[in-house]
Every structure is written in structure tokens, then in C-alpha cells.
Amino acid sequence: MSNPRERVAALRAEIERHNRLYYDQDAPEITDAEYDRLFRELQALESAHPELAAPDSPTQRVGGAPAKDLAAVRHDMPMLSIRTETDTEDTGAANFDARIRRELDLGPNDPPVEYAAELKLDGLAISLRYENGTLVRAATRGDGEVGEDVTANVRTIHAIPLRLKGNAPEILEVRGEIFMLRAAFEKLNRRQAEAGEKLFINPRNTAAGAVRQLDPKITAQRPLTFCAYGYGVMRGFRIPHRHSELLDAIEAFGIPVNKERKVVKGAEELIAYHAAIAKKREALPFDIDGVVYKVNDLDAQRDLGNVAREPRWAVAHKYPAQEEATEVQAIEVQVGRTGTLTPVAKLKPVFVGGVTVSNATLHNEDELRRKDVWAGDTVVVRRAGDVIPEIVTVRKHGPRRPEDRFEMPTSCPVCGSPVVRVEGEAATRCTGGLYCKAQRKQALLHFAGRRAMDIEGLGDKIVDQLVERELAKNPADLYDLDEAALAGLERMAEKSAQNLRGSIEKSKHAELHRFIYALGMPGVGEEVAKILARHFGSVANLMTADWTALMADKEAVRKDNVQRKKRGEPVEDVPLEGIGPELADSIAKFLHERHNRDVIERLTRVVEIAAPAQRRGEGGKTFVLTGSLAGMTRDEARDALEARGHKVAASVSKKTDYVVAGADAGSKLDKARSLGVRVIDEQQLKELLKER
């Protein structure tokens, strides 16, 4: 048996390795239970041998005892703030460059100034102090002179190394932002909701609140991350001449630095960077509220100096806000495809996230009550990317007369059928089914959607008329429409009637999974539709399925697999993996309903449905797509790969076989390279798709 010192060292190395596999590479090699055993063994050894304790031990990441308050820390070098350029247009960047050139006494014939362009991360600024490579202190910015000691909390953040890599300097203060990935934030809120706890408002507040906790165990439960963008005191280290190189050095010490940074020259390239990031903004896994430009030359930075607490050499160039305040004029109810009644706030129009918004969803009755929104209130509205605008919070109460209190209607506002709210469910539903015109319209729109039967030209306005005039009650009726009927619709020229008729005709050839998806069964999205298509292979098989038997069979295979695993035997594929008993029940109900069966039967008489090209496993490789492709959309690439039996995953891990990198590929490409995953370009993808 090795001595405790050696065992502690071995355990630390092993645990750090598993941390990297789990947190950085998304490819754990051991189960959580096995990890816990290693961790507890290390904890036990450290408490039995206090002389072996170390500030950079992985055990320090779980958080110790809560503090009474956070101690004050004076910054040796003040933490500066940054001047904000509120002009979100190109002129914002041009004005900054002009100012810098003036301050540096540069004439029109002097070369362009070099800048470091970075993202403006939206979180909490932090200063990390490493002494001889070990993290010894973390402090918030505070007023710039004095911040708060949050070392215990910051140790719980896995992105922050407790020890630097390589030849660490005597002192290195790294400054950067602690923030939260959007996906992690959403997951956290889902967990809160399930536990019946209060939801968090946005990633930034949540990150800031988590860092300033008195109890580090709470911080440890918040999925925080970190990126460096600057520095404080440095000693015993050859400091490079450029800001960008300093960040490279910090990165080489093992500290994360954002990959989207770029060295650019002159106003034009600043503008191009601002525009390129604006395009990418929604696709980034975290929120930003702008970009930051910094004069890259550190000597020039020193010459430029500061005004008050803001350096002259840097500016934050903002984007249009994604949150704005406005007034709720009324709360109405909309009926969705599956009959769900959604309360919608009618807003005084407001410009947010680049468009004018006049409606925002309140999701459901519980959400509306939780946020306590009334007509007349002033609220904060958020719109990011393609997501539906929503109300974040109430900023100021309106008059709130009791008679204005919102009540969920007891009958459907569209068809008058009674509404029900199933116990344990958030949704209130209209019981009218396809008798309800709102549901009919939504069902037709869904059926015609791009990812479903792809009937081009069958939009809102047309569907409204088809349903109002009772020309189409269900998807099957669409195929009975002739050109004359279509031409009779309002605002429908002869040519467009012809085109629409043509797209309806074209949709008569469909792949099975698209057809299943198009039916709009509750709970059946694209993924589930694909599982059903692969399993059943035809509409007839799907229609005659015995769901009780299937689910029993599934359960039996699963149980058998548990035994097989114990015996070390190979396991079998679980049938209909991904479809649980509740979903199976709802599919079975839908398929049993007379009306639905009639519609499906009529559809199968006119639509020619192609069985899945190949069954799962024949292609069997896992792909990740990143960047933009020139000759096809990512959806098309995904369809083509899946049709050949391959899988397309969202993120890169050790299990990825190929990463297809298009133009402007970002962090997924970097990750592929660091994991040694094979990277191919669009041309290679095309060749691969040609192969049999």
C-alpha cells in the first residue's frame, strides 16, 4: 500500500482528469458513483492528514463553511470600468477610432491603429490572484478600489484552474468575467420549477448573485463559467507588447479566454467585427450586450491613460438591447394547435432586439400568476433571436382594479367548447379538438410547415380563409382543393393559385418521418417522428400497432439488458427508445380516434410515402455540423446524413466521428481539434454522401 502522501497525489491527479473529461470534453469515463468514491477517499485522507491539505486540491471546489460576510479586499491595481458607446451603429466604432487617432497624434497618412476586439461578456467582473501558480484569492470589482473576497465561492467554478499550467509567474492577477451559459441557466430554472422553487430572472443576475453568496455550497450548485479579458499585478513574467499576446499567454497558463477575440486594424475592421458578432450573437451559447475594442499596443495604452475610472484606450460598443420596458394594454388568450390556451400580453409597441414587439407570451396561467402581470402594468419585455418575446418581470404596477384581474376563460374564446385544466399540468386546453377553428388553422399550418410536408405558399392568410370558408377542415382536404377554389380566395392572383396548387401536388411525395411529424400528434416532434418511422417503417404498421404490447416488450428488453450487463453480455437495442409510457399513451389515443384515422387513411390514398431509406446502424456514424455551408443548409445536410443512417449530434465529444466545418466554424471546431476528432469540409461531406 502506498503512503498517504502518494495516494493523495494520485487521487488528485485522477480526479482532475475525470473533471476534465466531464466538464471540458463531455465524455466521462466513470459513473458518478465511482467518482464520488474517489472524491470521498481523498476528503477522508485530507482530514486525517491535515498537513496534506492544499488550496488547489479538487476537494476545495465543493465549498467549505458559510461565511458571516464577505471580507473587503483592496485591489493593488484598481479594477477599471469601461466607457460605453451607446451609438449601436457603425459610427460608434468609427468615432472611437477617430478619437484614438487624435489622442495619439496620428495624421491621415499614418497607418491604421491595431485593436484587440473582444466580446463584452455579460456577468460579473472578477480578479483572480495566482501566486507561484496557485490560486490564492478571488475578488469582485466593488467600487474598483475595494472589492469583496469571494475566494471560497470562486474555487467551486470548474473553468477556473486552481493551479496554473507550465512555468507560472511569481504573481499573476487575471481579470475576467464570471458568467453562465444560457443552456445551463435554462436547465437550472427547469430544476427550480420541478422543485417548486422560485425561478431566476436571467443568467447575469444569477451569476452575480451566485458569486456573492455567503455559503460556497450554494455557489457550487450554480453552473458558472469564466473567461479572462485582462490582467492586474504581474511579477516574474516576461510581459509581451500587445494586449492580445498577453491574453495568449494567460490562455497558455490554462485559463479560459474567449475564442471569438480578434486582432483588427482601423475603423473598417472594427465595424466588420461588430457586424460579424451581431450575426453570431444568437448562436453564441451565452449572452453578450456588445463588443469591446482595446488599443492592442500596451505602450500606447499607457500613453493614452485613463479618465476617471475609465481607460481612454478601450470602449464597449453595444448592440440593441434585448430587454425593454413597456406597458401591458390587455391580456388576451390564444388557442394553439393542440388546443392549449396561452395568455398573451398585448403591449404598447416597443423596439427590442432589433424589431418592434407588440405581443409577448405569458406561457400559462401559473406563469402569469407567478409574474403577477396585470393590464396597465409596466413590464420588462425580452426578445432574443427567434424566440417568442416574453415578459421577464413587472417593473411598476398599474392601477390594478379588482375587475381587471385576469381570469382564464372557462370556454374556448374561439369555438366556445369547454376548457379543461388537467391536474398536475400547467396547460389549460380547449376540448373542441378539430371542431375548434383555431386548432384547425394551427394543424394545417403545422402540416404544411417546412420541416413537415413543406407546402410552399400555404401561409397564415390563406389558411385563415380556407378554414373560415370551410374549404379545408383537415389536412386531407388540402388535396381536394382545385385551382378554381384557390383562385377564389382573397388576394390570390391566378398565378399564385397555380403555384400553390403546384406545391400541394409536390408534397404528395413525402418521407415517412416527415409525414408522421406533419400529423401533429401531441408530443411528437421531429425526433420522436423519426423514432416512429424507423421502428414501424410504414403508416400501416403504425396504425395497427398494439401499444400495450410494445411498451411491455420494451420494459422486458430493458430489464433483460440490466441482467446482461451484470453478466458482461452484449445488450440488445431497446425498441422505441426515447418514447416513454405517457407519450406512448398519447400517441395511441390519437391513432385510435375515429376522426384522426379517417384523415390519415384519406391522406395515405393521395400521398406517396417513402419508407426510411436505411435502418439505423447501417451508416451509424455520429456527425456534428458547425459553421455555414455554401451549397446546402444545415437542415439539408442533417436530413441527408440521417437518411443514410447517421446520427447528427449538437455538441462535440469523444464519441463524435466527424465534425463538418463550414465557413466561420467556431468553438466546436476547436473542440474537435483538441479531442482529435476528424474534421471534414463541405466537399468531403458531399463525397461521403455520394458513397454507398
> Using CB under 6 A as the criterion, which residues of the chain lie in contact with ligand IVH when the complex forms?
80-82, 118, 120-121, 125, 141, 177, 229-230, 292, 311, 314, 316
- Least separation, in Å, of the C-beta of 141 and ligand IVH? 6
Q: Which is nearer to ligand IVH, 311 or 343 (CB)?
A: 311
C-alpha cell at 25: 470534453
Question: CB nearest ligand IVH: which residue?
Answer: 125
- Type of residue at 202: N
Q: Which is nearer to ligand IVH, 264 or 314 (CB)?
A: 314
Q: Which is nearer to ligand IVH, 63 or 123 (CB)?
A: 123
86 burial level (CB within 10 Å; 0-12, 13-18, 19+): exposed
What is the tally of helices (H) and strands (E) in the chain?
25, 26
State how far the Cα of 59 lies from the Cα of 54, in Å rounded to an integer: 9
Residue 68 known to be catalytic: no
Q: DSSP character for 23?
A: I
Q: Which is nearer to ligand IVH, 140 or 596 (CB)?
A: 140
Identify whether the C-beta of residue 336 lies closer than 8 Å to the C-beta of residue 342.
yes
- Least separation, in Å, of the C-beta of 226 and ligand IVH? 12
Q: Which is nearer to ligand IVH, 15 or 126 (CB)?
A: 126
Q: Which is nearer to ligand IVH, 92 or 311 (CB)?
A: 311
- Least separation, in Å, of the C-beta of 527 and ligand IVH? 36
Identify whether the C-beta of residue 341 lies closer than 8 Å to the C-beta of residue 335.
yes
C-alpha cell at 666: 467556431
Q: Which is nearer to ligand IVH, 200 or 229 (CB)?
A: 229
C-alpha cell at 614: 436505411
- Least separation, in Å, of the C-beta of 284 and ligand IVH? 13
- Least separation, in Å, of the C-beta of 266 and ligand IVH? 20
**Closest by alpha carbon to 224, among 162, 127, 157?**
157
- Least separation, in Å, of the C-beta of 301 and ligand IVH? 9
Identify whether the C-beta of residue 479 lies closer than 8 Å to the C-beta of residue 508.
yes
Alpha-carbon separation of residue 176 from 232, 489, 504, 629 (angstroms):
10, 60, 55, 34
State how far the Cα of 457 lies from the Cα of 459, in Å rounded to an integer: 6
State how far the Cα of 2 lies from the Cα of 193, in Å rounded to an integer: 47
- Least separation, in Å, of the C-beta of 176 and ligand IVH? 8
Q: Cell 451549397 belongs to which residue?
A: 631
Identify whether the C-beta of residue 684 lies closer than 8 Å to the C-beta of residue 658.
no
Secondary structure string (H, E, C) spanning 321-384: CCEEEEEEEEEEEEECCCCEEEEEEEEEEEEECCEEEEEEECCCHHHHHHHCCCCCCEEEEECC
Angle between helices 581-592 and 594-606 (to 10 degrees): 80
- Least separation, in Å, of the C-beta of 318 and ligand IVH? 10
- Least separation, in Å, of the C-beta of 529 and ligand IVH? 42
- Least separation, in Å, of the C-beta of 361 and ligand IVH? 30
Q: Which is nearer to ligand IVH, 269 or 289 (CB)?
A: 289
Q: Which is nearer to ligand IVH, 82 or 584 (CB)?
A: 82
CA angle, residues 321, 322, 324, in degrees to nearest 5: 75
Alpha-carbon separation of residue 437 from 334, 336, 359, 416 (angstroms):
12, 10, 21, 10
Q: Which is nearer to ligand IVH, 309 or 564 (CB)?
A: 309
Q: Which is nearer to ligand IVH, 130 or 229 (CB)?
A: 229
Q: State the DSSP string of 55-75.
A: TTSGGGGG--SPPSSPPEEE-
Residues forming a β-bridge with 174: 128, 231
- Least separation, in Å, of the C-beta of 207 and ligand IVH? 11
Identify whether the C-beta of residue 214 lies closer than 8 Å to the C-beta of residue 70.
yes
Strand-strand pairing, 314-318 and 288-295: antiparallel
State how far the Cα of 368 lies from the Cα of 365, in Å rounded to an integer: 5
- Least separation, in Å, of the C-beta of 418 and ligand IVH? 53
Alpha-carbon separation of residue 557 from 116, 554, 572, 576 (angstroms):
57, 5, 7, 11
Residues forming a β-bridge with 610: 511
> Which residue in 120, 294, 318, 437 is the catalytic one?
120
The residues, ordered by sequence, that sit 6+ positions from 530 with a Cβ below 8 Å of its Cβ are 513, 642
According to DSSP H, which parts of 523-675 are helical? 526-536, 539-543, 547-567, 581-592, 594-606, 634-643, 667-675
Q: Which is nearer to ligand IVH, 230 or 353 (CB)?
A: 230
- Least separation, in Å, of the C-beta of 130 and ligand IVH? 19
Assign 492 to helix, strand or coil. coil
State how far the Cα of 530 lies from the Cα of 451, in Å rounded to an integer: 12
Q: Nearest 10 degrees: CA dihedral of 494, 498, 503, 509?
A: 160
Q: Which is nearer to ligand IVH, 118 or 682 (CB)?
A: 118
Catalytic amino acids? Answer: 120
